[in-house]
Amino acid sequence: MAFHNFFPGSVKRIAGREFILGVPDAETGFYTLLADGKVVITIDRRTLMDLTGGDDVDLSILGFTTYG
């Protein structure tokens, strides 16, 4: 079952790591994902839906590296 709760401040689990969803940019619609108080990823809604809709996904497929 897909998890599509996109409220700012909600927690998203991607690649085994929890991120806090930021407010989408008014101009681009891109969301920010925050971890440890820092913006670590800026991502569009469709990709975010794909990544949070099922099993954990390796972010390296998008060229991102998770840390922790």
Over 60: is that where the pLDDT of 54 sits?
no
18 domain residue, yes or no = yes
Buried b (16+ CB within 10 A) or exposed e, 26-35: eeeeebbbeb
Model pLDDT, residue 28: 82
The helix/strand/coil state of 52 is: helix
25 domain residue, yes or no = yes
Model pLDDT, residue 6: 64
Model pLDDT, residue 5: 59
Domains contained in the chain, number: 1
Cβ-count burial of 16 within 10 angstroms (0-12 exposed, 13-18 middle, 19+ buried)?
Answer: exposed
Over 60: is that where the pLDDT of 11 sits?
yes
Over residues 18-40, the mean pLDDT reads: 82
24 domain residue, yes or no = yes
- The mean pLDDT value of the chain amounts to 69
What is the domain range of residue 49?
11-62
19 domain residue, yes or no = yes
Over 50: is that where the pLDDT of 3 sits?
no
67 domain residue, yes or no = no
Q: What is the pTM of this model?
A: 0.54
4 domain residue, yes or no = no
68 domain residue, yes or no = no
